[in-house]
Amino acid sequence: MVGVALGIAAIAATLAMAAGCVLPERARVVWVGILTAASATAGGVAGIAVLAGSARFTANYPDLLPLGGIRIEFDALSAIFTVAAALVAVPASIYGIGYGLHGPSSRPVQVAYPLLVWSLMMVPAAGNVTGLVVLWELMAISSLILVLAEHQHNPEARTAAQWYAVVTHLSLLAIVVALLILAHGAGGESFAAMRSGAGRLGPGVTSVVFLLALLGFGAKAGVVPVHVWLPRAHPEAPSHVSALMSGAMVKLGIYGVVRVGWDLLGGGPGWWGAVVLIVGLASAMFGILHALLASDLKRLLAYSTTENVGLIFIGIGAAGLFASTGNRPLAAVALAAALLHVINHAAFKGLLFLGAGSIHSATGTRDLDSLGGLARRMPVTAATFAVGALAIAALPPLNGFVSEWLLLQSLVHSLPSKAVAVAVAMPVAVAVVALVGGLVAATFVKAFGTAFLAMPRSVEAEQAHESPRTMQIGLVALAGMCVALALAPTVLAEPLRRATVAVAGLSSGRPIHTNGVYLQLSGIQAGLSPLLLATGLGVMMVVALAVVRRRRVHHTVRDIPAWGCGRTLQTARMEYTATSFAEPLQRVFDDVLHPEIDVDVDHRTESRHYIEAIRYRRQTRDAFEQRLYLPLLGVVRRAGDAARRVQNGSIHRYLTFSLITLIVVLIAAR
Amino acid sequence: MSKTAFVQLLDLAAGLVLVISFAALWLRRLATVARMIAVQGLALAAVAAVIGIYEHESELVGVAVLVGILRAGVLPGLIRRAVRAGDELREVESIINVPASLLAASALTLVSYATTRDVVALSPAPQVRAIPLGIAVVLIGMLMIVTRRKAVLQMMAVLMIDNGIALVMFLGTSGVPLAIELGIASDVLLAVFILQVLTNRIRTKFGGTDLDQLRALRD
Amino acid sequence: MSLTGTAVALLQVVLTIAAAPFLVGVMRLIRARLEGRVGPPIVQPWRDLRKLLGKDRMVSDNTGWVFSIAPLVLLASATLVAGIVPFLSTKSALDQVGDLFAVVYLLLLGTVFLSLAGLDAGTAFGGMGSSRAMTITAIAEPTVLVAIFALSVSTGSSNLGSIVAATLAHPATAASPESLLAFAALAVVTIAETGRIPVDNPNTHLELTMIHEAMVLEYSGPDLALIELAAHLRLVVFLGLLSNLFVPWGIATTAQPLQLLGAAVAVAVKIVVLAAVIAIVEVFMAKVRLFRVPELLAASFVLAFLAVTASFFLA
């Protein structure tokens, strides 16, 4: 069953790529969308089958590639990530039909898209180093092509692609080195051999492998300080690709850290967990502070991805820390929280990116400061975006709340603990998660409020119209997923158990219990029922509405202009913008962010006491980019300039170099 | 006094000493900060008194009374005079802002807890368990010295550090000989006097005690 | 979910809704008397609500569905919380439905909707109120969750019923440093979240200083009644949480009517005492500048943080 479904996924993806190659423009978009959705559905079915209890699927294709061939090992941990990818990919593909008919539909884009979807689903299924590296590279290259999709009218896309290409390939280097050291030491390059042979490596070597893997996979996950490509590349890709990149691709970095660190290596000393935890805390804080100040909607969402990956890292790091102190049941709860957040984030971040895409294709802008009033013009987009915004803000009764609740429970119940690291880290972690939670709420009130509510701030926003039906289907499907995941997380108790058990170094037993509607945790006296919370809220709203309706005698609603403090003719210029909404919080975090603020005042020519116009501009630069990467790039450039002196165009000199190299190699290989 | 009541009172009094250090970082008026230091002295005296009464050591109770007079009366009185003498702005000026110094102080509290774990593990006595509080007070006092601009505040910070040291002493040794306490107290008295004289000199020479301006003397 | 438990939860909801406007009336009366005024009668908030409910609904023409449902969500979240928090009995049916974290996030849900509604009208004041309210909520959040952390370390659970039961079983913990610190921290947050002096002034209508009032500026008639009632309810819920988490005595441990009656009286007395303290303090205090509020909240965060550290310093 699992094998058949994976086979269908591969065939459908191949057909989709073929369709992208040969069909004419309009048919191409439609068929690529349909076939990719079919491929993603098949992949999702395979994942769900494993999570529902089918035996894990392994297959070996030794002749498919030189070196090691390709092995497939599809267990419950892989399945979580494959399902998360499929969850975004199916709606995104359908959405892509409508999006492609009005946007990028060139051949390379349409061929790369199915390849990206398929490789996203298959990377977690890889069961040996060769397979993982090949699939990883397919994913990286296809996504790179897609980031470049709109490069002709958008020069930003080119710099973004450069950053992305460089970081991705450096990260691949780190991953390959880590896995090769591990495979060499363990005496085999299949995951099974590495798992059983990892004990032969010394503690120093395992730590080196872990840190290299954390660097490489962390770069893909977009955590601080290797996040710089993410807020550049994600906004520039077409929106359904951004949804895939943020919803699914960054998760594979998380998958890699868990797979290598706590499955193949079988866990390590407590400081592994502490490092992951610290990276997570830093990413969460950094991501949300930048998202808070961003006024480019897709950039905001990209930074928020860094923040959410940070939260997932917090869960994994806490799990590692708990496991090293011997508290396995709590480690399982923390890991379950992280994995649930992987799926939840796929649903709501996919939804939000698709919503941002709808806004972009309707208005041509992503700048929140020039949007507004879209709730009336684009009701479906508005309603679904609202669901995504409430979910990502972890508000009950939506799905983000469930995973945040699990995470908080695992952190809070770590004390009293004998371990100093736990006792010191957990209060800090809870405080950061809480602050991040509050800032996320503020960020998404800003995003939804300034994009969809009030009056339009530009002509484009004024003339916006609802997007085509296929795009609406994608949005509604993902919003439905958010609600379903919120109301029935109890269904996921058993799959999450299977997935955590697959990670040998972290968990044992059953993290989440359920008796129908309640969610209960092992060893923790706390319960939650999202379904009953939602019901309660619904009932109370209906009662309140009934009371209001009954009391109202006249049943009239009068439309009146908004109160302008005695002044008539309110215009959109008087509204709060995204920039002004974030201003108080920007002041609070001024010392951390150091935003650059320019205020230009133009005076009238007659008298300098009369002001013609005031321009306010605020820009927040990425501190890591400024302090770390640009100096580093400067060093590289200077080294390159220095190396240029070696090349003077003389063919004799080049041949001399070859000769010297040959001699050195001969001596070295003696 | 029963054992639980003793633990409760001891924890409250020692906790108060720490909380007051935070309050001293939070408050903005110099006079109020000075008052806080006086209250901290009282809380410290309470710690000594509680231990003395519980362990029936009359000498320790005597020390407590002395500590109360000295640290809640005499020394803060001197500082109040210094504050009143300064005709400059009577608000705290700090190198880092208030929320940041509060967060830094919280971090220092964690550091003191993490580093004294082994010491605390030596004895099950409730006094010993509260030792990290004393260390934290010392660290916060140093933070205050480092981050505050006015010389008057540095004097208060010295007092706070000394309060922290005294707290560790009471908790760690369960009873300090009177002579030692007197010696230390006179040391502090001397230090405060010297600081006050220095402050006055600085003020008469430069018209203010903003220590950042002293950097200009280097060249 | 037992039948008696459900009955207790419903009773709690009905009683809090009935009592909430009276509490506000009491606070206004205390303030008025201290300021030398006669003051309105205690039933005045109820009269206001009745009057508002009978009026026409006036809707600004820029607004949409968010503006219409925000009062409903705000009231529903506050009511649900009133059913979850153990006011009368530890045997409330909703105890397993949501714990303290759920309560905090439900209240946040209300704040978020109100802020969205503030933006929906498209006036400068609405936006200003929303922006400020979200700022204060965001930086108050760490205090709340860390204080909950402190409570659940000493009692082993974040369930409200378990915390109350643990305090009842070990009365000495109520005076321990960690619970005193957590109480102080949550008290500051309560003042910030319910919009009282020194963070916000519930009586002001000077636009530049408003937070809550600025957000609801566009509401009128029945919608305003819902928002007012929800605001009253949130005040009661916060004060009730504060009193029953730290001083739970008097709460019923069964669902017997007589015990419930006693519990209702006990919790009413506790809440009125807290409210009176707030009202008295408000008379003598001025509102702080908006950008001093983070300092206040940072201090409350430090208290909560110390509460957690105290739970392992001294445990």
What are A635-661's pLDDT values in tens digits? 999 998 888 887 777 788 888 888 999
Residues β-bridged to residue B188:
none
Find the CB nearest C226 among A373, A544, A588: A544
Interface test with chain A among B117, B120, B147, by most A beta carbons within 10 Å: B117
Angstrom CA distances, C203 to A133, C215, C291, stand at 65, 14, 20
Residues β-bridged to residue A49:
none
Q: Cα separation of B148 and C234, whole Å?
A: 40
Residues of chain A scoring pLDDT < 50: none
Q: Does the pLDDT at position C258 exceed 70?
A: yes
Find the CB nearest A420 among B96, B100, B117: B117
Cβ–Cβ below 8 Å for C303 and B129:
no
Q: Which of A602, A583, A603 lies closest to A593, judged by CA?
A: A583
Residues 562-601 of chain A with CB under 8 A from chain B are 591
Cβ–Cβ below 8 Å for A537 and C80:
yes
Asked if A137 and A172 count as a contact pair (C-beta separation under 8 A), the reply is: yes
> Which residues does C contribute to its contact with B (CB < 8 Å)?
172, 175-177, 180-181, 294-295, 298-299, 301-303, 305-306, 309-310, 312-314
Q: Which of A534, A488, A490, A531 lies closest to A511, judged by CA?
A: A490
- Residue A664 CB burial class (10 angstroms; 0-12, 13-18, ≥19): exposed
Task: Show residues of chain A in contact with C125, CB under 8 Å.
Answer: 563, 565
Question: What pTM does this model have?
Answer: 0.93
Q: Does A434 contact B at CB distance below 8 Å?
A: no
Interface test with chain B among A424, A432, A594, by most B beta carbons within 10 Å: A424
Q: Does the pLDDT at position C31 exceed 60?
A: yes
| CB half-sphere exposure, A473, CA atoms < 13 A | 17
Residue of C nearest to B18 (CA): C306
Residues β-bridged to residue B210:
B150
Asked if A375 and C64 count as a contact pair (C-beta separation under 8 A), the reply is: yes
Residues 40-69 of chain C with CB under 8 A from chain A are 53-54, 56-66, 69
Residues 168-207 of chain C with CB under 8 A from chain A are 207
The conformation of residue A559, written as its DSSP 8-state character, comes to: E
Asked if B88 and B208 count as a contact pair (C-beta separation under 8 A), the reply is: yes
C196 or A277, which is more confident: A277
Cβ–Cβ below 8 Å for C176 and B129:
no
Q: What local confidence, expressed as pLDDT, does residue B219 receive?
A: 52
Cβ–Cβ below 8 Å for B113 and A424:
yes
Asked if C136 and C199 count as a contact pair (C-beta separation under 8 A), the reply is: yes
Residues β-bridged to residue A617:
A598
> For chain A, which residues make up each domain, given as ranges?
1-268, 623-668
Q: Cα separation of C203 and C213, whole Å?
A: 9
Average pLDDT (C42-49) is 95
Q: Does C77 contact A at CB distance below 8 Å?
A: yes
Query: For residue A98, what are its two tokens?
Result: 């409508």
Residues β-bridged to residue A603:
A611
Residue of A nearest to B95 (CA): A591
Helix orientation angle between A250-258 and A76-101, rounded to the nearest 10 degrees: 170
What distance in Å separates residue A587's CA from the closest CA in chain B? Answer: 12
Q: Cα separation of B22 and A638, whole Å?
A: 50
Q: What local confidence, expressed as pLDDT, does residue B218 receive?
A: 57
* B107 phi/psi in degrees, rounded to 5: -60, -40
Q: Which of C203, C194, C235 lies closest to C32, judged by CA?
A: C203
What distance in Å separates residue B8's CA from the closest CA in chain C? Answer: 6
Against chain A, the chains showing at least 3 CB pairs within 8 Å are B, C
Residues of chain B scoring pLDDT < 70: 86-90, 174-183, 185-186, 190, 193, 205-219
Q: Is A64 helix (H, G, I), strand (E, B) or coil?
A: coil
Q: Cα separation of A30 and A23, whole Å?
A: 10
How high does pLDDT run on average in chain C? 89
In sign, the C-alpha dihedral spanning A95, A99, A104, A105 is positive
Q: Cα separation of C301 and C185, whole Å?
A: 7
What distance in Å separates residue A588's CA from the closest CA in chain B? Answer: 9
Residue of B nearest to A592 (CA): B100
Q: Is A608 helix (H, G, I), strand (E, B) or coil?
A: coil
Asked if A106 and A118 count as a contact pair (C-beta separation under 8 A), the reply is: no
Q: What local confidence, expressed as pLDDT, does residue A202 receive?
A: 86
Q: Is C271 helix (H, G, I), strand (E, B) or coil?
A: helix
Find the CB nearest C76 among A454, A541, A576: A541
Residue of A nearest to B98 (CA): A588
Q: Cα separation of A410 and A521, whole Å?
A: 9
Secondary structure of C7-66 in HEC code, one letter for each residue: HHHHHHHHHHHHHHHHHHHHHHHHHHHHCCCCCCCCCHHHHHHHHHHCCCEEEECCCCHH
Residue of B nearest to A588 (CA): B99
Q: What local confidence, expressed as pLDDT, does residue C61 receive?
A: 81
Query: For residue A130, what are its two tokens?
Result: 């060769």
